Copies of this chain bind each other. A is one copy, B any other.
Amino acid sequence: MTCLKKKNPTSGEHLTLLYQKMLLLGFGYCTVHLGKPEPLDLHLGMFLPTLLNQANQEQMDRFFMPSWNLEIIGTYAQTEMGHGTHLRGLETTATYDPATQEFVLNSPTVSSIKWWPGGLGKTSNHAIVLAQLYTQGNCHGLHAFIVPIRDMNTHVPLPGIVVGDIGPKFGFDEIDNGYLKMENVRIPRENMLMKYAKVEPDGTYKKPPSAKLTYGTMVFIRSMIVGESARALSKASTIAIRYSAVRHQSEIRPGEPEPQILDFQTQQYKLFPLLATAYAFIFVGQYMKDTYSRISGDINQGDFSELPELHALSAGLKAFTTWTANAAIEVCRMSCGGHGYSRSSGLPDLYVNFTPTCTYEGENTVMMLQTARYLVKSYQQAKAGQQLSGIVSYLNETDHRRVQPQPVSARPTVVDINDLASLVEIYKLRAAILVGMAAKSIQQELQHRKNQADAWNNSAIDLVKASDAHCHYVVVKLFTDKLGEIGDTAVHSVVSSLALLYALHGITVNSGDFLQISVRIKELLSQLRPNAVALVDSFDIHNKKLNSVLGRYDGNVYENMFEWARRSPLNATEVSQMFSCGVKEI
């Protein structure tokens, strides 16, 4: 925080520009989602950016500097108890009263109570509230309003406001995620964020110039989450692989010293595919960041042509990478045995703080279905004779569509499993087949006299599978492309092994047990074993950021575990205070 709270800011305008630049560099989002969660995360990551993006000049003058100076502390109140991802379902109302030129905010039902915003419970004195705007008898959908919620002097909730903490969660203990119930709360007309949409004093509503303007932020945040999956998985694999090199256990050869557990084939089979995945996701994260940057440049110049593809890609990859990393962190934790369960390992905290990414910024299954919608639409365009460009161009290859729906893996003989280009083709083929199958399922449902909506729902499993296959193809392709950029022969060789392991492991997981591939996978495990610790060291995660006794760079695990334990709060006294209270008697 220190760096933010300048003693004598020279000018508001200067700061605004600076902050805008920081946001473009991902600062706001990273503050929110990296490292330890803090109650001010939403203020910095959502409240200030929303002001910047949606407040008009008068509102900037009124709110920005006080917020910058932490007099106003704000949060972003969108999600309600009854609705999250499905925004149109939100129930909070803001009804315009032309008599007093005020909006009247209400939480009409229990399920409409705002729920989850970070810092809302106890920290914030303002909230940007998303509500259904009613004026002149009509509803104009969701708009954003600045609502003061606590007295600026006493911090006591204002009249009509019921606000508090929502109680303990899986993680994010440091955050007062809150609820907010409003009963006829009046705010001036000028507190609706009016850079784009407007309500005139007489209540006349003016539409925003483009609905696509908020689209970009969503795409940006989802793109950033892909990189976050990479970071979380690099941390988890660093901890598990380093510790597996420290831990000795059991015997492989009778009478010989206990081996490092990293020498057990089963341990390698748990961890090396995840290590390969971490590298894959780092490259995909970089690609998403670069692509966002490029396309948002185009958008600023009025070219929206690539936005649908970017939207589909960011939604699908957000879901694909967070699901994968989420499960992988737990595999890493359990691969550390009992000590993975101790918070000294850092893995429990990593997991509980990462796992919400599967739900927030768009629930993963919904995200997969959004990507599927784009894929099916593209498929139908290609079928209708249009030439597709970009990452879905593989759907142009009409011969794929003639292929009978059967697992790609049923004809492994034609594939060279040591050739990545060949494997990319397999993943491409699988994606094409599964997109085709999903489209066909919708078609079949429609023939059974079902309407489009039911046909879609009855094909949802296939649609999610198609999205998943598409994303998997994109990841394998990007990983393979990356290899072309590596000049150093030794590095190329190791990273190639990782890419090959990633691709082959994905095939066995998705297509059953194939002797040929299993044997090759085992060879790759032995090949990677000598470099495994170096490969995680090269993530270069500082001990402090790693925050794990098991994953320490120096490997002094056991001594430090003892030290860590001695500092346990329960050890503050040699005999628990309870003892003299008679608790011994139970």
Which of B266, B366, B453 interacts with A461 by CB under 8 Å?
A: B266
Given known contacts A82-B558, A169-B348, A568-B166, A89 and B249 CB-to-CB distance under 8 angstroms:
yes
Tell me if A585 is interfacial: C-beta within 8 Å of chain B. Answer: yes
Given known contacts A167-B567, A179-B565, A562-B81, A155 and B251 CB-to-CB distance under 8 angstroms:
no
Residues of B within 8 A of A270 (CB): 365
Tell me if A488 is interfacial: C-beta within 8 Å of chain B. Answer: no
Which of B5, B115, B341, B579 interacts with A155 by CB under 8 Å?
A: B579
Q: How far is the CA of A273 from the CA of B110 in the complex (A)?
A: 32
Residues of B within 8 A of A416 (CB): none
Tell me if A457 is interfacial: C-beta within 8 Å of chain B. Answer: yes
A571 touches B165 (CB 8 A): yes
Q: How far is the CA of A169 from the CA of B579 in the complex (A)?
A: 23
Which of B79, B169, B410, B434 interacts with A342 by CB under 8 Å?
A: B169
Tell me if A437 is interfacial: C-beta within 8 Å of chain B. Answer: yes
Q: How far is the CA of A434 from the CA of B515 in the complex (A)?
A: 10
Q: How often does this chain occur in the complex, in copies? A: 2
- Within 326-346 of A, Cβ neighbours of B (below 8 Å) are at 327, 330, 333-334, 337-338, 340-344
Q: How far is the CA of A251 from the CA of B70 in the complex (A)?
A: 41
- In chain B, what residue has the closest Cβ to A559? B110
- Within 88-130 of A, Cβ neighbours of B (below 8 Å) are at 89, 110-111, 113, 115-116, 121-122
Q: How far is the CA of A478 from the CA of B457 in the complex (A)?
A: 34
B338 touches A359 (CB 8 A): yes
Residues of B within 8 A of A381 (CB): none
Tell me if A389 is interfacial: C-beta within 8 Å of chain B. Answer: no
- Within 157-183 of A, Cβ neighbours of B (below 8 Å) are at 157, 164-171, 176, 179
A568 touches B165 (CB 8 A): yes
Residues of B within 8 A of A571 (CB): 121, 164-165
Residues of B within 8 A of A342 (CB): 166-170
- Within 506-556 of A, Cβ neighbours of B (below 8 Å) are at 510-515, 518, 521-522
Please give me the 5 A-B residue pairs with the lowest Cβ-Cβ distance, nearest first.
A165-B570, A167-B568, A170-B348, A511-B512, A407-B512
